[in-house]
Structure 1
Amino acid sequence: MKKSIHQYKRSFLIYLEKARGYSDLTLKTYDEALSEAFQSIVIEEKAAGTLFDLMPYRIKIASLKQKTIAKKLSAVRSFAEYLNTQGEHITLKADDSIKVAKTLPKPIPHEHIMEALQTAQTDERLIVIMLYTLGLRISELANLKLEDIENEWIRVVGKGNKQRDVPLLASTSRILREYVDEMRPKKYLFEKNSRKLSENSLRYSVTKVFKRAALKVTPHQLRHSYATVLLNNNARIADVSELLGHSSMATTQIYTKLGSALKMQNYNKAHPLCKETDDTF
């Protein structure tokens, strides 16, 4: 290899930050995963390139949950793909995929969110409402600038620096304006001492709001709730996928699950034969 693993890892993290727009938290996760992995991965120089033998590492992490193992191996694969773009010829050994069961998210009922908001402070209230009515990721909320906000739309910069426009409810817009008038942020919507609040600070605010109502809720659950409410009220899955900033509608289908009764109701409305009499045939 032309450079050391440490040098390549550093340039890889810079690439993820600058070219892919990954958050500080995600960068830290990649950094820690790769540092751990290459303590065990055996590197062999071959005539055709470099071989990364993952078997010793897989044995080391075998006792972890399948989802955790899959994430750790995914970081190594992404790193190997990056190395290949840098002119290295990397081959992975013992790189069998880990099958992970797709778990459904747990959306928060609307009434529970409204109950928690009754005791929220001005900034806390807006944080929760923005996540719930716009379906934002916590990283997207942290990076939201005042210039991205218009009367009826918000321009969101998501994963990979992809932009999307999300409609802003009139009620959310009103609360947002009241917050801006009171707090006077300069560049980012959520700031402290003229610097944007970190994702962890925003996440902690969400935790506090729901803890007062004896609930344990994460920002991502509010995003799930946003998607679920839209789909349960007959929004097209293609539209919801676009609003969430998903690259594939398959991802949106994992986020949401329509109840059997609602599926039957939609089927009865949609299929032409359901509108005919019982003796159609």
Structure 2
Amino acid sequence: MSDFDTLRRDWLAHLGHERRLSPKTLEAYGRDIEQFATFLTHHLDAPPSLKAVAALKPADLRAFLGYRRRDGVGNRTLMRQLAALRSLARFGERSGRLTAAAFAATRGPRLGKGLPRPLDAKAAAAVTRADSRAGEELPDWVLARDAAVLSLLYGSGLRISEALGLRRSQAPLSTADALTVLGKGGKTRMVPVLPVVVESIGAYLAQCPWRLAPEGPLFVGVKGGPLSPRIIQLAVEGLRGSLGLPGSATPHALRHSFATHLLGRGGDLRAIQELLGHASLSTTQIYTRIDSVRLLAAYDSAHPRARG
């Protein structure tokens, strides 16, 4: 194992044990550094060493970003990869193994300030109903399961990973049973459960053919194992066609819809931040921009003097 590989191993262990990053984030960062190592092997005509990495210039890092862009990678992924490289370099400096100023000096690509695209209330409600997929040749319990997952995304603002991470013992039996959700960075939060969500989960449990262990997953696949997020994504893709929804209709759009509709009905921004599990209020404030856009569009279309 090279000294660069050793540094990479120690850095990932640090992120997992001390920073407590999620397994998915660690997997993405590990993949980012592996792609960087592959690039350097070709770029330098040799596998990377700490000495070679310390000698890199910003031009070398820009060449890596260009290499990744030619593979069709977008700006957000490039920014994440650059953030991973900077984190690795800082860890190397703190441990006395690497001095690499090029990482901090390299500017990343600019990110567009696009807004999340929520569904309107009618469309969001339709996506969460099992009868919206009545024509599909799937078992009733599968349709009920998918509807229950989607109800949690829209009704409680969960991420899809959070919904699929719930255990059978956490299934709410009434609206008095708030959910304790394990979110990003291993942080937990409490979220309320609407009656329609309780009903949807109850319908799924009544029809599920598998015996669910209390500490096993609440939502299972057709063979009884943990449910893949891709199954829920495919379900929403099918609903886009049957309900005539835009391409922006995704499982995560239901979480955006949850926040936007709460804010539109006078919900407190701080409370919405806590419900979503955002570490920073600035992340939640993007929904105020969505609501402003919606109000201005309504004004432009309805006010008799709006068009001059």
- Asked if the contact 2:3–2:50 (Cα under 8 Å) also holds between the matched residues in 1, the reply is no
Q: Provide the rounded CA distance (Å) in 1 between the counterparts of 2:116 and 2:241.
A: 20
Residue equivalent to 1:208: 238
Aligned counterpart for 2:185 among listed residues 141, 157, 160: 160
Offset of 1:44 from its aligned partner? Answer: 5.5
Q: Which has the larger share of strand?
A: 1
Residue equivalent to 2:291: 258
Offset of 1:142 from its aligned partner? Answer: 1.9
**1:204 is aligned with what amino acid?**
L
Residue segments in structure 2 that go unaligned for 5+ positions in a row? 134-142, 297-308
**1:171 is aligned with what amino acid?**
V
**2:291 is aligned with what amino acid?**
L
Aligned counterpart for 1:188 among listed residues 217, 240, 250: 217
Residue equivalent to 1:237: 269
Q: Provide the rounded CA distance (Å) in 2 between the counterparts of 1:242 and 1:84.
A: 36
Cα–Cα, structure 1 residues 205 and 4, in superposed 2: closer, same or farther, change >3 Å? farther
Cα–Cα, structure 1 residues 84 and 136, in superposed 2: closer, same or farther, change >3 Å? farther
**2:106 is aligned with what amino acid?**
D
- Asked if the contact 2:124–2:257 (Cα under 8 Å) also holds between the matched residues in 1, the reply is no
Cα RMSD after superposing both structures:
3.0
Offset of 1:15 from its aligned partner? Answer: 5.1
Length, aligned pairs only = 259
Please list the CA deviations of residues 186-242 of structure 1 after superposition, one character each: whole Å capped at 9, or x if unmatched.
221111344321232333333333333233322211111111011111111110001
TM score, norm. by length of structure 1: 0.78
**Percent of paired sites with the same residue:** 27
Cα–Cα, structure 1 residues 213 and 62, in superposed 2: closer, same or farther, change >3 Å? same
- Asked if the contact 2:158–2:255 (Cα under 8 Å) also holds between the matched residues in 1, the reply is yes
Residue segments in structure 1 that go unaligned for 5+ positions in a row? 264-281
Offset of 1:51 from its aligned partner? Answer: 5.7
SS at match of 2:118: coil
Q: Provide the rounded CA distance (Å) in 1 between the counterparts of 2:95 and 2:165.
A: 30
- Asked if the contact 1:156–1:165 (Cα under 8 Å) also holds between the matched residues in 2, the reply is yes
Residue equivalent to 1:103: 114
TM score, norm. by length of structure 2: 0.72
Q: Provide the rounded CA distance (Å) in 1 between the counterparts of 2:254 and 2:294.
A: 24
Q: Provide the rounded CA distance (Å) in 1 between the counterparts of 2:151 and 2:56.
A: 46
Q: Which has the larger share of helix?
A: 2
Cα–Cα, structure 1 residues 78 and 163, in superposed 2: closer, same or farther, change >3 Å? same
Aligned counterpart for 1:127 among listed residues 133, 149, 153: 149
Offset of 1:98 from its aligned partner? Answer: 3.9
Cα–Cα, structure 1 residues 170 and 207, in superposed 2: closer, same or farther, change >3 Å? same
Cα–Cα, structure 1 residues 71 and 259, in superposed 2: closer, same or farther, change >3 Å? same
Cα–Cα, structure 1 residues 83 and 221, in superposed 2: closer, same or farther, change >3 Å? farther
Return 62-71 or 147-156, whichever deviates more: 62-71
Offset of 1:124 from its aligned partner? Answer: 1.7
Q: Provide the rounded CA distance (Å) in 2 between the counterparts of 1:227 and 1:128.
A: 15
